[in-house]
A and B are shown apart, each in its own frame.
Chain A
Amino acid sequence: EAQVTQNPRYLITVTGKKLTVTCSQNMNHEYMSWYRQDPGLGLRQIYYSMNVEVTDKGDVPEGYKVSRKEKRNFPLILESPSPNQTSLYFCASSPGIGTSPLHFGNGTRLTVT
């Protein structure tokens, strides 16, 4: 089954404790992206990757890191999480941005206390 898989689904952590949210897709998509979803603000892009070893900032990159060492994986790293990063996070992939729609994972709900 074609899918984008995120783990974990739920995560509660404390301020400053490094964490990684994994994302993997099995559709051989070149484009991958991370979004956060907050009430009233919709989906906002954090980082995106056009291909292996190619990443770029989205609209809200502060406090986040990503890497794209393999085509299928695109982990999101929070080196020192803060409470304002409490949010619902989605990973998405696409054959190519702009001309193809996104396929989303089922989300990771992160709470930072």
Chain B
Amino acid sequence: QKEVEQDPGPLSVPEGAIVSLNCTYSNSAFQYFMWYRQYSRKGPELLMYTYSSGNKEDGRFTAQVDKSSKYISLFIRDSQPSDSATYLCAMSVGTEMRFGAGTRLTVKP
């Protein structure tokens, strides 16, 4: 079993849809939780960064962390074609950082 599980998709939605991306993990020690967005032929760029459980909102993006269930989510409201990318979840504790395999999202006009 992988330490971080993420459905690779691909996920295709119409413009304006609400997108839900999820990851589960096995190491209960993880403290910091991140979502990165990766466009084709580019490096991952930080989208959301949260510490411990709870919700964090930034514009159309909301990150949720449920440490009791070892489950994190990223919601994208009013999705746009420019949101088409691969989304990577990541989590860390101390010097250990683990990434999900990424979910490829396509938002169709």
Contacts of B4 in A (CB 8 A): 42
Is residue B42 contacting chain A, with contact meaning CB distance below 8 A? yes
A105 touches B43 (CB 8 A): yes
How far is it, in angstroms, between the C-alpha of A53 and the C-alpha of B75 when the chains are bound?
41
Query: B54-91 vs A: 1/0 string, CB under 8 Å?
Result: 00000000000000000000000000000000001010
B97 touches A102 (CB 8 A): yes
Residues of A28-81 at the interface with B, using a CB-CB cut-off of 8 Å, are 40-45, 48, 50
What range describes how many residues of A lie at the interface? Answer: 20 to 34
Is residue B101 contacting chain A, with contact meaning CB distance below 8 A? yes
Give the number of residues in B that approach A within 8 Å (Cβ atoms): 26
* Contacting residue for A107 out of B41, B46, B93, CB 8 A: B41
- A42-B88, A43-B88 known; A98 vs B43 contact (CB < 8 Å): no
Contacts of B101 in A (CB 8 A): 40-42
Contacts of A4 in B (CB 8 A): 43
- A42-B88, A104-B43 known; A99 vs B100 contact (CB < 8 Å): no
- A98-B93, A99-B32, A107-B41 known; A42 vs B46 contact (CB < 8 Å): no
A101 touches B43 (CB 8 A): no
Residues on B close to A: CB < 8 A? Answer: 4, 6, 8, 31-32, 34, 36, 41-46, 49, 88, 90, 92-97, 99-102
Give 10 new A-B contacts, CB below 8 A, not counting A42-B100, A42-B102.
A43-B90, A90-B44, A98-B31, A98-B32, A98-B92, A98-B94, A101-B34, A105-B43, A106-B42, A106-B43
- What are 16 A-B pairs at a CB distance below 8 A? A42-B6, A42-B99, A42-B100, A43-B44, A44-B99, A48-B95, A90-B43, A97-B92, A98-B94, A98-B95, A101-B49, A102-B97, A104-B36, A104-B45, A105-B43, A107-B43
